[in-house]
Amino acid sequence: MNPKDRAWDLSYAAGWKLVRVLPERWAMHLFGVAADCAARGGGPEQLRRNLARVLSITPAQVSDDLVRASLRSYARYWCEAFRLPRMNPEQVAADLEASAAGLEHIHDAVARGSGVVLALPHSGNWDLAGVWVARRIGPPVVVAERLRPESLFRRFVRFREELGFEIVPLTGGAQPPFEQLSRRLREGRVGLLAERDVTGAGVPVEFFGERARMPVGPARLALDTGAALLPVHCWFAPGGWGCRVDPPIDAVGGVQRMTQALADRFAAGIAAHPADWHMLQGVWASDVDAVP
């Protein structure tokens, strides 16, 4: 392991240990301070560009307050993520249930026995949707991008397994992730998939009026297995969380039309809660293609 990878691994390990032993109020304060520091000087340029697309303004018109709020939201996610294994999972599920809308769509799909694909953008605390599924339905199946170093990836796998998730690695697994997910969905399980096209093999969609690429996995899995494809959006509320599950995406029209429908649902949720969309990477083709 090279020094840089070792530093990343040790920093995450220290963060996990520190946040779990600190009182919640202290931990949240420390993460908030770190977010404020990251927001100085305008904050990450790609975040500002992404928010500009959401708001239909130029990056220069994105307020510093919104950038700071977005980074504070992202910091809250990591603080909660580090603390989740210490939290009472039943209470977490009950709290989310009390504020969520549309959970009946998940129950209805599970009752049909055909499996469920929950498609979520990186917004709010998306891990909580998995905790709810684990407590109310059964262990959700989650695809995990293989991080570097390998020891850090294993930490994230153990973390999510502690929450009751079954982890399928994006690369380096015993079988390709699509095959593993398909098998689990045919068993009537629930899979959680995100919106980032990490493989570069996504299909073009219109997203906030501009071309972007999104992964085909959610639509392909739904079509191949007969699973219901449900868009989900999570966001933060003062002292709690919000979550909405939309009705199933219509399978008519194939992968392209289904993925565009997902993009439209994602856009509606992100527009309603822009500060809680934790996207610091390029999403739109003009940004991704510009990266050397």
Catalytic: which of 195, 233, 273, 278?
Answer: 195
Q: Which residue, 210, 290, 216, is CA-closest to 257?
A: 216
pTM check: above 0.95: no
Q: CB under 8 Å to 175, separation ≥6 — which residues?
A: none
Task: Give the separation between CA 15 and CA 212, rounded to whole angstroms.
Answer: 34
CB-CB contact of 119 with 248 (8 Å):
no
Mark residue 249 as left, alpha or beta (left: phi above 0; alpha: psi -120 to 50; beta: remaining): beta
Residue 111: half-sphere exposure toward Cβ, Cα within 13 Å: 6
Task: Give the separation between CA 191 and CA 134, rounded to whole angstroms.
Answer: 11
Task: Give the separation between CA 130 and CA 158, rounded to whole angstroms.
Answer: 15
195 catalytic per annotation: yes
Q: What is the pLDDT along the chain (292 residues), one digit of tens a residue?
A: 677 667 777 777 777 778 888 898 999 999 999 999 999 999 999 999 999 999 999 999 999 999 999 999 999 999 998 888 888 999 999 999 999 999 999 999 999 988 999 999 999 999 999 999 999 999 999 988 877 778 878 888 888 898 899 999 888 778 888 999 999 999 999 998 887 766 677 899 999 999 999 999 999 999 999 999 999 999 999 889 999 999 999 998 899 999 999 999 999 999 999 999 999 999 998 888 765 5
Task: Give the separation between CA 220 and CA 259, rounded to whole angstroms.
Answer: 9
Task: Give the separation between CA 266 and CA 260, rounded to whole angstroms.
Answer: 10
45 catalytic per annotation: no
Catalytic: which of 29, 45, 80, 122?
Answer: 122
